[in-house]
């Protein structure tokens, strides 16, 4: 099975390494921090043609999307960038993955909630 990890940061790189150990055919992407590895490619998820090109080229069965601007304070300061990467970028990955029939897995965060309640269900 072929798996593409989009965004080999803290979480993505752990996934990448563990899946490789399990002998999956794994590929990864980076953005500002290059990864010297034949199976890893630079990708900016805000660039639709680049996203389509890479996803078509790898043509994986599964795409795990872990790319994001994860610094919450930075997201508050630069909402345009946060939206461009975390919202539009995610949409770009979801569309491109859907077009090739891949299963797209998105990793969210509890930072999307305001902390007023707890024990949310996955659908909320």
User: Which tokens sit at 114?
Assistant: 């305001």
Backbone angles phi, psi at 23, to 5 degrees: 75, 20
Q: Which of 10, 36, 116, 121 binds ligand NAP (CB under 6 A)?
A: 10
| Distance (Å, whole) CA 57 – CA 44 | 15
Of 62, 47, 5, 51, nearest in space to 28 by CA: 5
Q: Which of 4, 68, 93, 102 binds ligand NAP (CB under 6 A)?
A: 68
Q: Three-state SS for 23?
A: coil
The DSSP line for 28-52 is EEESSS----TTEEE--TT-HHHHH
In angstroms, give the least distance from the CB of 123 to ligand NAP: 18
Q: Which of 60, 67, 93, 104 binds ligand NAP (CB under 6 A)?
A: 67
In angstroms, give the least distance from the CB of 19 to ligand NAP: 15
Does 43 bind ligand NAP (CB under 6 A)? Our answer is yes
Q: Which stretch binds ligand NAP (CB under 6 A): 26-34, 55-63, 92-100, 113-121?
A: 26-34
How many residues form the binding site for ligand NAP (CB under 6 A)?
23
Does 45 bind ligand NAP (CB under 6 A)? Our answer is yes
Tokens 């930075």 sit on residue: 74
User: Which tokens sit at 72?
Assistant: 């919450």
Task: Give the binding site for ligand NAP (CB under 6 A).
Answer: 7-12, 30-33, 43-46, 66-70, 85, 89, 107, 109
């Amino acid at each position: 099975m072929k798996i593409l990890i989009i965004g080999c940061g803290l979480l993505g790189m752990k996934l990448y390494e563990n899946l490789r150990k399990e002998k999956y055919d794994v590929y990864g992407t980076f953005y500002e921090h290059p990864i010297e590895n034949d199976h890893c490619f630079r990708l900016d998820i805000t660039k639709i043609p680049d996203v389509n090109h890479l996803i078509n080229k790898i043509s994986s069965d599964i795409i795990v999307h872990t790319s994001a601007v994860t610094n919450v304070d930075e997201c508050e300061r630069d909402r345009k960038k946060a939206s461009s990467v975390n919202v539009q970028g995610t949409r770009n990955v979801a569309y491109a993955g859907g077009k090739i029939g891949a299963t797209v897995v998105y990793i969210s965060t509890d930072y999307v909630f305001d902390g007023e309640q707890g024990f949310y269900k996955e659908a909320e």
